[in-house]
Amino acid sequence: MKRFLIVLATGAALAAVNLPMAAAEPSHGSASGASGASGCSAPAVRAPAGTEVESVTALRQEGGTIHGTGVIGGTVDGVPAFCEVTATLTHPGDGDHAKVRTWLPVSGWNGRFQALGGSAFAAGDNGVGMGTAVKNGYAAATTDGGLADVVDVGWALNAAGEVDAGLLKNLASRSQHEAAVVGKQVVAAHFGEQASYSYFNGCSTGGRQGYMEAQRYPDDFDGILANAPAVSWDEFEVATLWPQVVMNNEKTYPSACEFKAFTDAAVAACDPLDGARDNLVNDASRCDFDPRRLIGTKVVCDGKELTVTAADAAVVRKIWDGPRTASGRRLWSGVPVGADLSGLAGTTTDTNGRAKGVPFRVPQLWATTWLKKQPSFDVSTITYDQFTRLFEQSRAEYGGVIGTDDPDLSAFRDSGGKLLTWHGQADQFIPAQGTVEYRRQVERKMGGTQRVDDFYRLFLAPGAIHCGLNKGVGTIDDLAALTAWVERGKAPRTLSATLVDATGRSVDRDVCRYPEVSRYRGHGDPAAASGFRCVLPSRH
């Protein structure tokens, strides 16, 4: 069996993962094969439905080190030479200009096509994922959707201060589909044959795009790898403002150090639930640690001794519990126990030494730009009642556009597609329970766990942060598992992973398929995968 070094990245840090590939790889794009394989020319591109092709260009790139653009950045080394084909599309009447980039390895094409998803408000990859795919023999494609970088949303409102519906639609659904259509055309024209298999690969926004592909364009891909997916976007984006709303309304702003004290205490209390002290919460939904247990505890932060107050504990309790209406109706799940609370509950002190909140930019921009339609709106003024109204407004205005939570995946199932997802149980930006709830909806719609497992599998990774197993904070064998499922019918029972526990130590673990959770066997090294097995939880 051949093994290739794959570097998966959606952030500034990278993780090297040895991914097994099929022993018999087809030979594609050799010098004796299609004439386009060793050249680099702009092919004719047929416009996808509803679009016009403005231009198609081609440029040979010598590879080497690819530096990711924008805020996320990152690098990938050892990228071989490739042909870059850029097709610019427009939607008549919308005035947009969406670029679809396709990278074609000059040699060593493995016969596969891989499309790369975006991050936050960026529709596509910044170059690191593309370089990684080409390095491992894939022809790869992505799209900018006519948009900008991850938190550059100057495109969102038009000159009249109204939401640009066309560009939002690009982000929500159509540009990723068009990248699949155009990318496959370019591959076929360049190599003289269609790709043997087509895959999608994304995390966060990219994960949501993967789910949208399965829901609306079920024939685009044979396999979809969609991790930490931002599904139910219209609801969870507002929900992730909740920690800031709580602190502002309670007038209490714990520091990152104080938040860490609560998290550490919860992990210590809930760690033994799997039968071993391995510094991982293997089933965060069962952890019911009460933050009031820390009231009166001394915490040393920046050399100062602080005492945890009842107000601090009340804030943490509300953040873990998640957003509710004034009558107590739950709107969404909270930050999971074990996750870094300062991700969404960021705080700082102003020049006068007064504490204040620092909201995470993505939900802040969603509220100010798409909901209030006032980019300068101060989210610190949002009351509990106003929060509920914003939540309902977002659901009403955008659920059908970018909700991405249609549980009917029958067309994707019938097309033979496979959907694979892992989500970190310590995800500090997108609570994993949202993905769990979507999976439950699919099960209710499509006949239960066993039938859904035939084409869609979810894995919950203990201790893993947002997209962290693709960012150097641990590793996971996800793309190899998907290709084995698609190409050899080998459905993954577990995903081999190296996780990082609460102390920063690396531990090997087989991540369990939902709804199973990891349990210690009662003997063996808690840092070794062999010490654990996957079992059904007492409740889920």
The DSSP result for 55-84, as a single string, is EEEEEEE--EEEEPPTTT--EEEEEPPEEE
The Cβ of residue 375 has, within 10 Å, a number of other Cβ atoms equal to 13
Give the sign of the dihedral formed by CA 72, CA 496, CA 219, CA 41: positive
Peptide bond into 515 cis (omega under 30): yes
Q: Is the pLDDT of residue 24 over 70?
A: no
The identity of residue 438, as a single letter, is Y
| Residue recorded with tokens 């641990």 | 474
- Report the SS3 class of residue 485: helix
Residue 540 known to be catalytic: no
| pLDDT given at position 31 | 32
Give the sign of the dihedral formed by CA 45, CA 47, CA 53, CA 59: negative
pLDDT band for 312, please (50, 70, 90 cuts).
Answer: very high
Residue 466 known to be catalytic: yes
Burial of 279 (0-12, 13-18, 19+ CB in 10 A): buried
Q: Which residues contact 173 (CB under 8 A, 6 or more apart)?
A: 212, 216, 402
Domain boundaries, the chain: 27-195, 237-400
> How far apart are the C-alpha atoms of 226 and 204, rounded to whole Å?
8
Burial 282-313 (b: 16+ CB within 10 A, else e): bbbbbbebebeebeebebeeeeeebebbeebb
pLDDT band for 473, please (50, 70, 90 cuts).
Answer: confident
Active-site position among 204, 255, 285, 342: 204
| pLDDT given at position 539 | 56
Please give the angle made by the CA atoms of 227, 232 and 236, to the nearest 5 degrees: 95
Q: Which residues contact 192 (CB under 8 A, 6 or more apart)?
A: 33, 34, 35, 36, 37
Across residues 242-249, what is the average pLDDT?
Answer: 98
> How far apart are the C-alpha atoms of 399 and 405, rounded to whole Å?
9
| pLDDT given at position 51 | 97
Q: Are 87 and 182 in contact (CB under 8 A)?
A: yes
Question: Residues 33-89: pLDDT tens digits?
Answer: 333 455 899 999 999 999 999 999 999 999 999 999 999 999 999 999 999 999 999
Across residues 151-175, what is the average pLDDT?
Answer: 97
Q: Are 56 and 99 in contact (CB under 8 A)?
A: no
Active-site position among 283, 342, 466, 477: 466
| pLDDT given at position 282 | 85
The identity of residue 17, as a single letter, is V
The Cβ of residue 280 has, within 10 Å, a number of other Cβ atoms equal to 27
The DSSP result for 361-409, as a single string, is HHHHHIIIIIIS--TT--GGG--HHHHHHHHHHHHHHHHHHH-------
Q: Is the pLDDT of residue 179 over 90?
A: yes
First to last CA, the chain: 38
Query: Does the pTM exceed 0.85?
Result: yes
Active-site position among 427, 477, 478, 510: 427
Q: Are 206 and 115 in contact (CB under 8 A)?
A: no
Q: Is the pLDDT of residue 224 over 90?
A: yes
